[in-house]
Structure formats: structure tokens, C-alpha cells
Amino acid sequence: MSNNTYDAIVIGSGISGGWAAKELTERGLKTIMLERGKNIEHITGYVTANKDPWEFKYRLSRSQQMLNDHPVLKRDYVLSEANLDYWVNEHESPYTEVKPFDWFRGYHVGGRSLMWGRQSYRWSDLDFEANGKDGVGVDWPIRYADLAPWYSHVEKFAGISGSKEGLSQLPDGEFLPAMEMNCVEKDVSARINSQYKDLRKMIIGRTANITVPHNGRTNCQYRNKCALGCPFGGYFSTQSSTLPAAMATGKLTLRPFSIVTKILYDKDTKKAKGVEVLDAETNQTYEYYAKVVFVCASTLNSAWVLMNSATDIWPGGLGSSSGELGHNLMDHHFKCGANGEMEGYEDKYYYGRRANGIYIPRFRNIGNDKRDYIRGFGYQGSASRSGWHREIAEMGIGADFKEALTEPGGWSMGIGAFGETLPYHENHMYLDKTKKDKWGLPTIAIDAEIKENEKKMRVDMMADAKEMLEIAGVKNVKTYDTGYTLGAGIHEMGTARMGRDPKTSVLNKWNQVWDAQNVYVTDGASMASTACQNPSLTYMALTARAVDHAVSELKKRNI
Amino acid sequence: MGGTLIGMDYLVSGCQNPAAKNVSVLFDKDHVKFLDEVGDTIIPKTKTPGAKDVHIGAFMAMMVKDCYKADDQQIFMKGIAKLNDECNKQNGKDFLACTPAQRTAFLNALDKEQVAYTKTKTEDQPNHYFRMIKELTLLGYFTSEPGCTQALRYLPVPGKFEGSIPYKKGDKAWAT
């Protein structure tokens, strides 16, 4: 039994789990990180990362076999022969869509930190105060001041490049040098900033790609192949950053193929004493014990672990006493915006492939602006010159056609919005005990959808994009709404929300489960609202803050 | 050609046709040779290699076999025969027997037909076989090593980003 006893257990090895492991081990705790999937080693595990375009059999198209094997993943750009190995085997791990829900999962060491979009933004009090002010969901139990030092802490280590802008709705951070806008983006930005007198601003994206060498990692090489894993360590991932730091302490054990099936709850101490693990390769069951458990299995799976635990005491699972566990499932809604063509820059081009774009922070429902919906959205986008994919209908075929396609085409500029989704109690997931996965475990059923507030917002998401691009001189601007399914933003949040009251929330202000205070949930499950900014930086900050609290509570023998 | 290629659609969630035929038996050496010549007429050798130099026929056969849905496979296979039949009607001889000038003139006309058809076609109507051939030729050529490194400019590791560099007519586009 002593071999299975640690100071801390971390469930999951993605962005949040990696941070938990790093912080716990650096504070001296002997920690085991349990990952349900296979290991992927930094650099040597990125088997496609140095492949040239012609080395991909289908040249990044999709085979019928890929489509058959990935009925969910194929719904979006994420299905690619370039990193097929980084996505879940859907046949082994099915789920049920009571209403359509795109669930794109990465079951391996590093989780989705290997394939994430890397956009990294602080939230502000506009976000943390919103639920309380609007009477929506529950009031966040923390404010920006609680998290600001932890944002700094994680930014300094992760390495976030960006520009300081002094915007209250998008606080500045500890930035590495910003990436550069291209010539069209610079001019579009200047025109937007001047037209809206800085009420709307177009800035360079803040991204977890390092622009200078950082903590022993090589700076971004502008290959734009991040999603294959970066052999240079040019972007933040568990593998490039938190895992080596945790390993360097000598205190971390990483155990892949370890599906945590439940948290072991001790009725007498009212605390968790450990977890039960099913070895995904051998089907053997093990128990691991620790003083504290960090649940970082990703929003839906963290709720799954809780729901599958302590059911003899709470039928709905550990942390279910409020009736909110598994509820308030959220995402960012997107896939609408506008794009058009930009003339007058035919004598300019760019060098390198910048894995980053521009960002237009939220401007709706701020100050005197009042819309027929609450909250708001931000835009991501970029300008570029087209390549050989473009249609040159009039040129037909032959030598002239070929030569024309070897030159770049015209410039275009597009922006797409990411909007806040409100927490709705009825948007929820639950355990489906009749449908089992490969290991005989109950699966997740998801019953959630966007509602009127989001739908109204989408009208502005298109119209504002058109207005700004036209003001900036972009021609032939067309709006689009290509349709959005909840989950497609890959920003699942909210299934074990933080709050001030154990009757209406699953976690307290330190991310502790109200019903078992040595269990911390610090991933997207803990979010009480979504804001409109990309959420991962906030998971990092919440995780580091929660570890600090846990270590302090352990010292005081409070947990 | 847009972002979505025929048969390799991103977002269609309908079921696959279970009656999909194994088309590997349908492509023989003559088909591959024929497609090499059609592809090379679309993207001929100039100062830089042409489509035949990158084995475009074998690439097309592989893509149709692995990536196309069954009904698009059938359109493609019938299209090979149809292309040759049309050529016979217009030129009185097989496509392979035509001079380069005849081939180019014939495929230019066929491309105009395909463009006009594709513009007005609804989603339910079948794709045009020549659009398939053209798309696969462009994909196979411009993502090949000669396509990337000779017809276009390829930087495996740019190492830096510059948002504005001078461009003059004739400078090549980046391959990726």
C-alpha cells in the first residue's frame, strides 16, 4: 500500500493538470499525475512535426477511413492526417448527444495542451462581476484582484507574447515581445482605432508562443505547425513546460493509461482518501492514496469522475449536493463574422508563418453601450494573400494558368467573433449507465444548446465585423454565419462551478469541492461564466492559486 | 478551388455509401498514364516541372480510391472514358493521340464547361468529372516537392516573421 501513497494526486495531464503537477511538486509534495491515455514524449513523440507537405499521403485531405473512424471530429477542421494520433478513439469512448454537441477530446499525456489555439487573455472584473450584476447563474466568488497575481505567476513561466494596451476589459499581463501585424493588419488596426476613438481596438493576438528564448525553450520559428507538437518548444504545452519542471523536482510520478474511475471518499473524515484507477491496457484496478486530489480531467470528464464517486452517500456523486454538478455546461459560440478583399498592397508580402492573428477585445455592453442581449464577444482574425487554392476561372488550364498560380493572389482580411455563452441550469451532462465505453464504464450524455441571448448576439457578431472592415477600407465585405453547435469552440466550461454558497455551487472560492475539501477542481469545470476570452490562461491561474491554497491548508492541517 | 475539395468534404455528416466499390481494381496502368497526360496538360512543364513529373496520375488514382465517396468515384471513373469520347468527337482521335496544342484547346473548352456547370449546380447535382481532375491535379502538384520548392517558395523553418516585405510581379508565392 505504501507504494501507492503520495502527498497529492492529479487527475489529468492537460493544461490544468500539468500546472497542478508543477506547482505541487515544486512545493515539495510527492505527486502522481494520472493520465487516461498514452504517453507522448516531448519532441520524439511529435512524429509528424518535421514532415514536409508532400510527406503527408493525402496532402492533409481526409480519407473515407478517417471520416468513418471520426464521426465527431470530422465536423470541424481538427480532423487532419497531420495529428490524427492526438485525438480520442471515438469508437472506444462514445458519448451521447441528446442535443448536438461537438466534443473534441485528446486522451494522452498533455491532453489538448498539445493542440490548443494558444490565445491567452486575462479576464477582468467586467467578467467576474457580470453574473452577480445580471442575476445570471451564481456570482463568481472571486474578483480580478484575487487572480491578478496568479495570472502574472503563470504568464511568467508559460511565456505569453503580446502588447500592453491599457484596456480595462482586457488587462495587460507579463508579456514577452509582441508578434508583428502584417502591413494590411497594421493599417486596418490604425483605421479602426482612430474611427472608434479607442472604444474599439484591434491589437495583435496574445499567444502562448514565445518570441524570445524562454526557460530553456527555443523561441517560435514561425512554422505554424503547432498542432503537430513543437520540437522547438515554441509554444506552451504540458510537454514543453510544466511536465519537465515537475519532473525536475524528482517528486513527480507520471502514470499513463490510468483511467480514474472514482474518487475514494471517507465518510468519517469527510475527505477523499485517494482514487481508484483502471489500467486502460491491462484492465487491472488499483487504488492510490493522497492527502489532496486535484481534478483536472477536462470539463466534462472532471464532472464524470465526480458523478461516479461517493454515490452511496450522494446518489448524484461527489459534489452533487447542490444539484449543480454536471449542469451549466457552456462554451464559446462562434463561426460568424465577415471577410473581404483589400486593394492597394500588391507590392507587399510577408515572411514566415505567424501562428497568431489579431484580436479585437470586447466592446459591446461596456460603458454606455446597451444591446438587446447581455455580455459580448471578441474577434480573432488576420489578413493574408491567397495562394494556389484560389479560383482563377478565366485562366482555365495550361502554362499561363500554372504560372499565375505560382504567384500570390490578392489580399483578404477576415475577422470572426467568439461570444460569451450564459450558464443555463438545464444545459447539462449526465451519466448514461446503459451505454458503456470500451472499459465497461458509464458514458456521458450531453443535453445542451445555445439560447436567445447567444442568438441575438450573433446578429451583432456579423454586423459589427462588416462595419469595422468597411470602415477600414476592406472591399466586398461579406458576412457569414456557418452555424454553430455547442462544444465546437472546444472551450467546454461550467459543470462544477465555483460559487459562494454550497447550495448553489459545487466548488468554493478556492476551487475546493464543498462536500470534500481536499478535492480541488481547477479546470474548465470550475467556471461560473465564460466571458468571451479564451479560457485556458484562467485555468492555469486558478490551478496555481488553488495549489497555493492546498499547500497552505495542508500545513495548517485544515485538510 | 476554395477550401473544400470534392469528395473530401469537411462538414457533411451523412452516412457513407455502404455499397462503395473497391476502385483499386478500376484503375489500371492505362488509366494512370491517361491521367498523367491530362494532368500534365493542366499543369505543363515550363521552367519548372509539370504534373506528370510528380506522378499526378498515380496520385489522382490513390486519392479517388481512398478519399472519394462511392458516387464521386463512379463519376470520376466514367469521366475518364467520357473525356476521351468527347475528345474523339471533337478531334477525331483519342486524347493521347492529340498534339499538345489540341489537348490544351480541348481541355480549355472542357474547363469552361465545368466552370459554367459548377456555378449553377445545386448541392444535389453530381460534381463535374473535370473539376475533380483539375482539383486533384492542383492539389497533387502544388503540394509535391517540386511544386513546393520549384514552382513555389518553400521555407521549412522560417525562423522569423516579417509583416511587410517588398513584392514584385513574378516573385513566387509561399508554398505554405
Model pLDDT for residues A192-226, shown as the tens digit of each residue:
999 999 799 999 999 999 999 999 999 999 999 99
**Residue B168 is assigned to a structural domain of this protein:** no
| pLDDT exceeds cutoff 50 at B120 | yes
What total number of domains does chain B contain? 1
Q: Does A191 touch chain B (CB under 8 A)?
A: no
Residue A242 backbone class (left: φ over 0; alpha: ψ -120 to 50; beta: rest): alpha
Cα separation, B135 vs A110, in Å, equals: 37
- Overall average pLDDT of the A233-243 stretch: 98
**Cβ atoms of residues A330 and A457 within 8 Å:** no
- Overall average pLDDT of the A150-158 stretch: 98
Closest CA–CA distance from residue B100 to any residue of chain A (Å): 10
Note the pLDDT tens digit of each residue in B130-168. 999 999 999 999 999 999 999 999 999 999 999 999 999
Determine the residue among B160, B169, B171, B172 to mutate to test chain A binding: the one whose Cβ has the most chain A Cβ atoms within 10 Å.
B160
**Residue B156 is assigned to a structural domain of this protein:** no
Q: Which of B107, B142, B148 sits opposite A397 (nearest CB)?
A: B107
Residues 482-541 on A with a CB inside 8 Å of B are none
pLDDT of residue A32: 98
Residues of chain B in contact with residue A397, where contact means CB-CB under 8 angstroms, are: 41-43, 104, 107-108, 111, 134
Q: Which of A58, A385, A396 sits opposite B112 (nearest CB)?
A: A396
Q: Which of A57, A348, A407 sits opposite B173 (nearest CB)?
A: A407
Per the prediction, chain A carries an average pLDDT of: 97
- Rg value, chain A, Cα: 23
Range of the domain at B80: 21-151
**Residue B66 is assigned to a structural domain of this protein:** yes
How many CA atoms are closer than 13 Å to the CA of A368, on its beta-carbon side? Answer: 1
Closest CA–CA distance from residue A402 to any residue of chain B (Å): 6
Q: Who wins on pLDDT, A499 or B3?
A: A499
Return the number of CB contacts < 8 Å for A and B: 180
Q: Which of B138, B140, B161 sits opposite A179 (nearest CB)?
A: B161
pLDDT of residue A393: 65
Quote the ipTM score: 0.94
Q: Does A350 touch chain B (CB under 8 A)?
A: yes
| pLDDT exceeds cutoff 60 at B10 | no
Note the pLDDT tens digit of each residue in A302-341. 999 999 999 999 999 999 999 999 999 999 999 999 999 9
Q: Does A387 touch chain B (CB under 8 A)?
A: yes
A181–B163 C-beta distance less than 8 A: yes
**Residue B7 is assigned to a structural domain of this protein:** no
**Residue B144 is assigned to a structural domain of this protein:** yes
pLDDT of residue A391: 72
**Cβ atoms of residues B95 and B34 within 8 Å:** yes
Determine the residue among A97, A218, A406, A484 to mutate to test chain B binding: the one whose Cβ has the most chain B Cβ atoms within 10 Å.
A406
**Residue B160 is assigned to a structural domain of this protein:** no
**Cβ atoms of residues A363 and A376 within 8 Å:** yes
Note the pLDDT tens digit of each residue in A23-45. 999 999 999 999 999 999 999 99
Cα separation, A341 vs A115, in Å, equals: 30
Cα separation, A202 vs A468, in Å, equals: 10
Q: Does A223 touch chain B (CB under 8 A)?
A: yes
**Residue B91 is assigned to a structural domain of this protein:** yes
Nearest CA in chain B to A219: B159
Structure confidence at residue B11 as a pLDDT band (50, 70, 90): very low
| pLDDT exceeds cutoff 70 at A1 | no
Q: Does A392 touch chain B (CB under 8 A)?
A: no
Cα separation, A212 vs A122, in Å, equals: 21
What is the DSSP secondary-structure string of A173-239? --EEPPPPP-HHHHHHHHHHHHHTTTSS--EEPPBSB-SS-BTTBPPP-S---GGG--TT--B--II
Q: Which of A64, A350, A408 sits opposite B163 (nearest CB)?
A: A350
Q: How far apart are the first and last CA of chain A?
A: 21
pLDDT of residue B23: 46
| pLDDT exceeds cutoff 50 at A390 | yes
- Overall average pLDDT of the A503-523 stretch: 98
B66–A58 C-beta distance less than 8 A: yes
pLDDT of residue B25: 62
Q: Does A186 touch chain B (CB under 8 A)?
A: yes
Q: Which of B108, B156, B161 sits opposite A180 (nearest CB)?
A: B161
Residues of chain A in contact with residue B5, where contact means CB-CB under 8 angstroms, are: 61
| pLDDT exceeds cutoff 90 at A483 | yes
Cα separation, B69 vs B114, in Å, equals: 20
- Overall average pLDDT of the A102-118 stretch: 98
**Residue B162 is assigned to a structural domain of this protein:** no
Q: Does A181 touch chain B (CB under 8 A)?
A: yes
Cα separation, B102 vs B113, in Å, equals: 17
- Overall average pLDDT of the B87-111 stretch: 97
User: How many other CB atoms are found less than 10 A from the CB of residue A90?
Assistant: 16
Closest CA–CA distance from residue A32 to any residue of chain B (Å): 37
A53–B143 C-beta distance less than 8 A: yes
Nearest CA in chain B to A390: B1
pLDDT of residue B26: 74
